[in-house]
Structure 1
Amino acid sequence: MTWQDGDMAFAPIGWRGWMRLIWRAPLLLLINFGCLALLCLVRLVERPLFDLRRPITPWITQFVCISSLWTMGIRLRRHGRAMEERGAIVANHASWLDIYTLNACARIYFVSKAEVARWPGIGWLARATGTVFINRRGAEARAQQHLFEERLRAGHHLLFFPEGTSTDGRRIIPFKSTLFAAFFAEDLKDDMAIQPVTVAYHAPPGTDPRFHGWWGGMPFGPHMKQMLAAPPGGAVDVTFHDPIPVAEAGNRKVLTQRAEAAVRSAHPCGTLT
């Protein structure tokens, strides 16, 4: 068994954990689906006026994510700031919690694997907030690149995970360069930047250091229950690094390597793979 097998056993919750879960779960549902209804109503007006651009609804998404982290007892610590120039953000990937963590720090649009769109609850939220869904199949690479380029030209700050999968949060695995190709379109490369972001979770005292990680074949429901019952003291550090101009990197391989090095530099276990 390795970390990739999802070999972390869920600890017993205990009566204090159940008490936390009982009040946190309804509040989390109210925040997420109450604001989802509001977002859909606002989008009815926003879409015909602004098309792909979303000047209003990302603020609702950001409020939801900040409030959800607070509800789950995860303290958010942000270092640096999200870039304002055109381009995309790349980060290491530890958990489904990254959706809340990164949206709480910046008004962004996730790039996610297609199957997430079919997940109950999270899939609905992802679609409503403008997530770009892709299939990681070579035959569709060109179409996906065109989709990327369209969203970038609309001024969206896309966020994707170059690792291609989530980990246990205690390591960073090598970045894949495939999705970086879209930034080298002739009309984009001179006006684009990639901003690396490091996400580092810190488990509540007395729990497994991999507490927030969600990887391998780990089931979603029990993991979410563990988060809702979590003791206080959990935290996440989000570090925004200096943006890397695409034209300066020269090609996607170099851009990928520079982004990975920056992300590793601020992670407590950045040398592990």
Structure 2
Amino acid sequence: MSDWRTSRVPQRPASPLAQGFAALRLGLMGIVVFGGLALLLVLRLVEAPFFGAARPWTPSITQGVCRIALVLLGIRLQQQGRPMRARGAVVANHASWLDIFVLNACDRVYFVAKSEVARWPGIGWLARATGTLFIARDPSEAKHQQGQFEARLRAGHRLLFFPEGTSTDGQRILPFKTTLFAAFFTHGMEEIMHIQPVTVRYHAPEGQDARFYGWWGDMDFAGHLWRVLCTPARGRVDVTFHPPVAVDGFDGRKPLAAHLEGAVRGGF
């Protein structure tokens, strides 16, 4: 049996009609996404002088844009549970670039992403505008980045990160890496922070490979987006918000990460 990391979803040629429909959907997505971004930037000019790092208004625009985008992508969102109200962070499994739209549609969060994302054409610009926190994979930067992470949490931002460290084919959960959890056990953070585990599970459109929405390895983003747009049948994504846990209920980052991983796996 081949390793899932090197296997690929079989490609099906799209009909001219499907491609025309996909082009229309892509155009509408461009209008929604970049129109929403323009509105967000204008509103941020008013928001920033009054609230500084806090963003009481602009996340609503991001959330609305992502909900419309899912409709255009032909993905039905089904949510169980509710986002927590307590201060803290959110962790989820990671299967695709679609996770960004899905999780933003459900909750007003700020993503934590690898620093390379900031340089991706288009996507990097969108990520910066919506308040993404970028993390470099350089051990020498760990202390500085932990400080940034802590500062954003103290500012009231609900940070969402993927402890698996990479995306999958959507058919499995990888072991959680514990590095970022250390930020919750410094300077009294554990006394005021909660973390909510979230499970994301995609269901392919009828007749498609179960891994249809998965995006992993060296898969091409543009090609994957086009394949999704060319598929007329609708798929579904289930998002389960599990009960949040208080950080001070755990002895350290490893038992905390293990508990959260177990909750995400249980929902999968």
Please, what is the CA RMSD of the aligned residues?
A: 1.0
Query: Partner amino acid for 1:129?
Result: T
Q: Deviations over 1:52-83 (max 9, x none)?
A: 10000000000010000000100000110110
Partner Cα separation in structure 2 for residue 236 and residue 6 of structure 1: 22
Q: Deviations over 1:141-189 (max 9, x none)?
A: 1111000000000001000000000000000010000010111113211
SS of the residue corresponding to residue 75 of structure 1 reads strand
SS of the residue corresponding to residue 255 of structure 1 reads helix
Partner Cα separation in structure 1 for residue 223 and residue 255 of structure 2: 40
Partner Cα separation in structure 2 for residue 10 and residue 218 of structure 1: 13
SS of the residue corresponding to residue 170 of structure 2 reads coil
Partner Cα separation in structure 1 for residue 219 and residue 61 of structure 2: 30
- Name the counterpart of 1:266: 267
Q: Deviations over 1:113-157 (max 9, x none)?
A: 011111112111110000000112221111110000000000010
Give 1:237 shift: 0.3
- Name the counterpart of 2:118: 117
CA contact (8 A) 2:10 2:209 kept: no
Query: Partner amino acid for 2:49?
Result: P
- Name the counterpart of 1:271: none
2:5 matches 1:7: no
| Matched pairs, number | 267
Give 1:6 shift: 4.9
Partner Cα separation in structure 1 for residue 7 and residue 98 of structure 2: 16
Query: Partner amino acid for 1:259?
Result: L
CA contact (8 A) 2:203 2:237 kept: yes
SS of the residue corresponding to residue 176 of structure 1 reads coil
SS of the residue corresponding to residue 208 of structure 2 reads coil
Query: Partner amino acid for 2:25?
Result: R
CA contact (8 A) 1:6 1:215 kept: no
Distance 1:110 1:6, change over 3 A: farther
Once the two structures are overlaid, the 10-residue window that deviates more, 38-47 or 226-235, is 226-235
2:137 matches 1:136: yes
Q: Give the 4+ runs in structure 1 shifted more than 6 A.
A: none
SS of the residue corresponding to residue 5 of structure 1 reads coil
Query: Partner amino acid for 1:92?
Result: N
TM-score normalised by structure 1 residue count: 0.96
CA contact (8 A) 1:6 1:217 kept: no
- Name the counterpart of 2:90: 89
- Name the counterpart of 2:65: 64
2:248 matches 1:247: yes
CA contact (8 A) 1:166 1:214 kept: yes
CA contact (8 A) 1:6 1:216 kept: no
SS of the residue corresponding to residue 142 of structure 1 reads helix
- Name the counterpart of 2:182: 181
Partner Cα separation in structure 1 for residue 11 and residue 197 of structure 2: 32
Partner Cα separation in structure 1 for residue 229 and residue 107 of structure 2: 24
2:155 matches 1:154: yes
CA contact (8 A) 2:84 2:196 kept: yes
Query: Partner amino acid for 2:72?
Result: T
Query: Partner amino acid for 1:220?
Result: F
Once the two structures are overlaid, the 10-residue window that deviates more, 229-238 or 64-73, is 229-238
TM-score normalised by structure 2 residue count: 0.97
Give 1:30 shift: 0.2
CA contact (8 A) 1:20 1:230 kept: no
- Name the counterpart of 2:25: 24
Partner Cα separation in structure 1 for residue 124 and residue 187 of structure 2: 33
SS of the residue corresponding to residue 65 of structure 1 reads helix
Once the two structures are overlaid, the 10-residue window that deviates more, 242-251 or 157-166, is 242-251
Give 1:101 shift: 0.3
Query: Partner amino acid for 2:176?
Result: F
- Name the counterpart of 2:205: 204
Residue identity (%): 57
Partner Cα separation in structure 1 for residue 207 and residue 10 of structure 2: 15
- Name the counterpart of 2:167: 166
SS of the residue corresponding to residue 144 of structure 1 reads helix
Partner Cα separation in structure 2 for residue 183 and residue 154 of structure 1: 14
